[in-house]
Amino acid sequence: MFRYNFKNPSNFILALFCVLGWTPDAQAYFDPGTGSMVLQLLMASVLGFLFTLKTYWGEFKDFLKNLVDKNSTDDYKN
């Protein structure tokens, strides 16, 4: 449907810069609560990841231990 010849990407980069670089100013602002909401989201993401890691770490470790033990016993059988 839409083809572009990428043999000379400088024209594409220039056009992309012109389209994205010269946009009009946005008539918007950030509330004071927006920063705290972003901070809360970041903290919740980190703590959720750490909790998930803590919860499944034993199972992951056992899986790797069984995988290594299985491979090492197969080597001795040969």
pLDDT at 78 over 60: no
Rounded to the nearest 10 degrees, how much is the dihedral formed by the CA atoms of 64, 67, 73, 76?
Answer: -90
Q: Is residue 28 part of a domain?
A: no
The residue segments making up the domain with residue 64 are 54-78
* pLDDT for 46: 97
Q: In the chain, how many domains are there?
A: 1
Task: Decide: pTM greater than 0.75.
Answer: no
pLDDT in tens, 2-26: 566 666 777 778 888 888 777 777 7
DSSP letter for 22, please: S
Q: Is residue 12 part of a domain?
A: no
Q: Is residue 44 part of a domain?
A: no
Q: Is residue 11 part of a domain?
A: no
